[in-house]
Each structure stands twice: as C-alpha cells, then as structure tokens.
Amino acid sequence: MAVATALASRGRGRTAPNPNVGCVIVQDGRVIGRGWTQPGGRPHAEAMALDQAGEAARGATAYVTLEPCAHQSLRGPACADLLAEAGVARVVAALRDPDPRTDGEGFARLRAHGLTVDVGTGAEEARRAMAGFLTRRAFGRPHVTLKLGLSLDGKIALANGSSRWITGAPARAHAHLERARADAILVGRGTFAADAPKLDVRLRGLEERAPRRFILASTKPQIEETGWSWLPAPNLIGKLVGVDHLLIEGGAGVAASFLRDDLVDRLLLYRAPIVIGGDGLPGIGDLGIGALLDTHGRWALHDARMLGMDRLEVYERRRKG
C-alpha cells in the first residue's frame, strides 16, 4: 500500500476534481502493474495498472488507495468492473470513496463479482496523499497548506522588509516542489507586488507544473494580463473550480485571515537557524486570541527534518471527519 500511496502522490495537483489514486497489482509477490490517476483525471489508476498487468492479473491482488469506482462514465467503464473482468482475485483498499456515486458501491460490486475485499490498510498515509480530494468532499473546499519561511523567533523579514534570504537553497527547492504539488497558490497584495515574477516552479523537469495563481484582496487588484486571478475573501476558496490543493505563500495578513477562519489544514514551516528579534516582521498577522486554552489541541507534528542548515516542520490540523 505504501507503493500505491507513493504512486497516488504523483497525480497530486493535476487530477482535480478527480481523486489522485494509486494502484499496484501484485502476483506471487511480484509487482505486475502500477498505475496512478493521469492528469485531467483519466485514465484511472486501476485501468493503467491493469493495462500493464494484462493476462497476468488473473488471480492477482490489487492494492488501491481508494475504493474503485462503481460508476460508468462517458470517459470510461467503472473500475470495479474492470478489476473483475481482468480476473483480479483480491482488492485491498486504503479508504472508502466518499463520492456518493461510489461510497461502498465499489466494494459491493467487487464482492458481487466474487472478489475478496479488505479495507483500511495504510489509511492514514493514503488520506494524506489524497488530502485535496478528501477535503473537497468533506468540507466543500480545497486542502490548504500555509507555507512560512521563518527565523527561530517566528519572523519572515527584518524590520526593513528584507527577507532575502531567511532560508537556504535546499529549503527553497523543497518549497518549489510543494508548489508543483499544488493546484493553485495564493498570496496577498503586498507579496504579489514584491514577488509576483518569482512565484513559479523552478525545478528542472517541473517547469510545466506551475500552479494557478490567486491574489487575496478585498478590492480588485490590477492584474490584467498577468495570469493572476482575484480572490476577494478566504471563505470563497470552495468556489475555485479544479483547485483541490491550495498553497498559501504569504504574507502575514493572508496567513492570519485564513487561520482566523480555520481554513488552514497544514503548516509548512521552513525554519532557519537565525534570530531576528521583536522588530522583525511576524510571519502571521494578528489573530486576536483571547485565551491560551483555545489554541491548544489544534496542531500535531507530522514531519520534521533538516533541509541543509534549515529545519522543515510539517504540522497538521487535527479535525474530525
């Protein structure tokens, strides 16, 4: 399932509104097919993996990150039927598909065809890999990552506004990779004015993966012919069609407005081993929190590692549902 989850991640940021699924078909301990949802959402992961496996799929086990779909569409047959027709004997799925057109129907159809079905293996990692799709299904909005490049004392710039550079090259390269994995990025008016030309993907081989770009501004900004779009308020992100993974790149006011509305699902902290002091600019604007108790229990550390001299920390918002 770990392999299927890794394959699922390949489609991240390119399959919305479809889920980015990963699929591995195994026969006698040998991988005979690998698939992941292709850009635009088709072919599905299962179809791609079955195509690779061919006749060898007979009697094999398919590992999928999400319940195979039960609905035919103009663009292809239902994956549950495809798996059965290919003779697959067993399907192991990490998660049930919340899409009402499937939502248990995929499993039921597999079982009706005589396949063995197991659900739940590797669910946590699969949930992370398909966070955009699942957040859209659960909350009707994209999965939101807030990225901050901080000093040890939480500053994003000196008092004079200088922020080049807080973090080193390895951390900045990682941030570009995160950008390539998002459907869209969003900045505030100030960050747009200062950094707009630089908000692309500068990793060899991934130049094409530049996400769509939005400015958060209460009044319409001057963005004709810039390739940028306007978002008037954080709570309108649910209306961004084809955006299931949104990356917030700054500045402090944008960060604060999304945090105030509890619309941040993931904190991506790049922390440089430097101290800037209280006269530096904070990474997050005013939140107006009245009691410390209200701040606890929201965030859990998911990952921490070194990127050159800097430290990456990923915190996830703990939510029900």
Active site residues: 46
Query: DSSP H helical segments within 25-153, as ranges?
Result: 45-53, 79-85, 105-112, 123-129, 131-139
**Which residue is listed with tokens 């070194």?**
306
β-strand partners of 150: 271
Report the candidate in 250, 103, 259 with the shortest Cα–Cα distance to residue 179. 250
Residues 319 and 321: their CA atoms lie apart, in Å, by 7
Residues 51 and 47: their CA atoms lie apart, in Å, by 6
The pair of three-digit structure tokens given for residue 151, joined into one six-digit string: 């000093």
β-strand partners of 212: 184
Least distance CB 258 / its own copies (angstroms): 11
Residues 304 and 282: their CA atoms lie apart, in Å, by 22
* Residue 248 or 276 with smaller CB distance to its own copies: 276
Residues 135 and 319: their CA atoms lie apart, in Å, by 11
* Residue 17 or 154 with smaller CB distance to its own copies: 154
Asked if residue 94 binds its own copies (CB under 8 A), the reply is: no
Asked if residue 304 binds its own copies (CB under 8 A), the reply is: yes
Asked if residue 176 binds its own copies (CB under 8 A), the reply is: no
Contact present, 157 and 218 (Cβ < 8 Å): no
Asked if residue 216 binds its own copies (CB under 8 A), the reply is: no
> Looking at 20, 37, 65, 163, which residue binds its own copies (CB under 8 A)?
163
> Looking at 2, 112, 138, 152, which residue binds its own copies (CB under 8 A)?
152
The pair of three-digit structure tokens given for residue 163, joined into one six-digit string: 């922020």
Asked if residue 155 binds its own copies (CB under 8 A), the reply is: yes
Least distance CB 300 / its own copies (angstroms): 6
Asked if residue 308 binds its own copies (CB under 8 A), the reply is: no
Asked if residue 151 binds its own copies (CB under 8 A), the reply is: yes
The 10 Å CB-count burial string (b at 16+, else e) for 304-316 is eeebeebbbbbbb
* Residue 79 or 150 with smaller CB distance to its own copies: 150
Strand, coil or helix: what is 106? helix
The pair of three-digit structure tokens given for residue 132, joined into one six-digit string: 């955009």
Strand, coil or helix: what is 174? helix
| Number of C-beta neighbours around residue 54 at 10 A | 11
Asked if residue 34 binds its own copies (CB under 8 A), the reply is: no
* Residue 130 or 148 with smaller CB distance to its own copies: 148
Least distance CB 268 / its own copies (angstroms): 12
> Looking at 11, 19, 188, 280, which residue binds its own copies (CB under 8 A)?
280
Residues 47 and 26: their CA atoms lie apart, in Å, by 15
Kindly indicate which of the ranges 9-17, 27-35, 180-188, 309-317 contains the residues binding its own copies, using the contact rule CB under 8 A.
309-317
* Residue 52 or 299 with smaller CB distance to its own copies: 299
The pair of three-digit structure tokens given for residue 9, joined into one six-digit string: 């991640």
Report the candidate in 258, 253, 235 with the shortest Cα–Cα distance to residue 141. 235
* Residue 164 or 220 with smaller CB distance to its own copies: 164
Site for its own copies in 240-259 (CB under 8 A): 252, 256, 259
> Looking at 169, 173, 233, 301, which residue binds its own copies (CB under 8 A)?
301
* Residue 205 or 288 with smaller CB distance to its own copies: 288
Asked if residue 292 binds its own copies (CB under 8 A), the reply is: yes
Asked if residue 139 binds its own copies (CB under 8 A), the reply is: no
> Looking at 6, 108, 119, 158, which residue binds its own copies (CB under 8 A)?
158
Binding site for its own copies (CB under 8 A): 150-155, 158-160, 162-166, 252, 256, 259, 267, 269, 272-280, 282-292, 295-296, 298-301, 304, 306, 311, 313, 315
